[in-house]
Amino acid sequence: MRKMLLTPLMLCMVALLLTLCMPATHAKQPITLKSGVFIELSWGWVGFGELPGYPWGKEVTSYTWKGAVSGDINGDFYVTLVGAWFPGKTEKFSETWIIETTDGDLAGYDEGTWSFINFKWGANGEVTSATESYSYLVGYDMRYSGTTTQFPVPPGTPVTGTGTLILSSK
């Protein structure tokens, strides 16, 4: 009787150990993409039109930052102000953004804060559209932050910024 129970018990133990040792291949792993950011705001741009080096057919305003991202995603980066308000020594803003790459384009929105004391900015948003090899990023969280040069600046002097952009799955 004891031998009859020992065999099924051993088989159950082996099955349990194999189950616990197997990797969870079906579990969705979070994916994070990280890129460095360089942006520039030139106060010389007036009204709507095309900026030097800016692709035809895109509407820009004097409040469009242009720049680049490099790292997990490499491409041209354009950020357009949608709205701003100034509580105290900060700017609260909302904006839309586009990243253009050779492998596809991404677009989205964000809301954030820029400090006129330490010139740091940070924003959170979402990827709302993406094409080609980046189409899986739609719905991803977008965060970016960094520091700009001092503001205000003399006429004709651009405000520049450097930082980090992170896209992450929810």
Range picked from 40-44, 54-58, 82-86 for highest mean pLDDT:
82-86
Average pLDDT for 129-151: 95
Burial of 121 (C-beta count, 10 Å sphere; 0-12/13-18/19+): buried
pLDDT band, residue 29 (cuts 50/70/90) = low
* Alpha carbon distance 16, 104 (integer Å): 45
Average pLDDT for 49-53: 43
Average pLDDT for 21-45: 70
For residue 3, what pLDDT is reported?
57
Average pLDDT for 132-150: 96
Residues near 81 by beta carbon (within 8 Å), at least 6 away in sequence:
61, 63, 64, 93, 94, 95
For residue 74, what pLDDT is reported?
97
For residue 151, what pLDDT is reported?
82
Better-scored residue on pLDDT, 53 or 38: 38
Give me the sign of the Cα torsion angle 68, 74, 75, 77: negative
Percent over 70 (pLDDT), the chain: 69
For residue 53, what pLDDT is reported?
44
Residue linked to tokens 């991202």: 69
pLDDT band, residue 106 (cuts 50/70/90) = very high
Better-scored residue on pLDDT, 29 or 133: 133
For residue 73, what pLDDT is reported?
96
